[in-house]
Structure 1
């Protein structure tokens, strides 16, 4: 299980995109609209699926 203060392994481009947008931990993504994240260059369907699954393990979800 990915801790809330870390990002899961989603690939370097997606990780860079999230860091560039100010998201450094999984917990920060709870409630963020999927469309907001999908609009970031490097964040694709695979990364969104991994983020969804990691958040669900904590009882959280994307917006």
Structure 2
């Protein structure tokens, strides 16, 4: 028997490193697969339906 404390490993719903983004359109909470950003600026994420709104961030 060991005196070391062992914490349980967390169970992830998705692989480590996979990021989930939510559409930034008001009232939409769908997964966002389209990211828009200029170099060295934060990305803005939109779903397929609202991806046209991301063009203004390019």
Taking structure 1 as the reference length, the TM-score comes to: 0.22
Structure number with higher relative contact order (C-alpha < 8 Å, ≥ 6 residues apart): 1
Q: 1 or 2, which has the higher strand percentage?
A: 2
Q: 1 or 2, which has the higher helix percentage?
A: 1
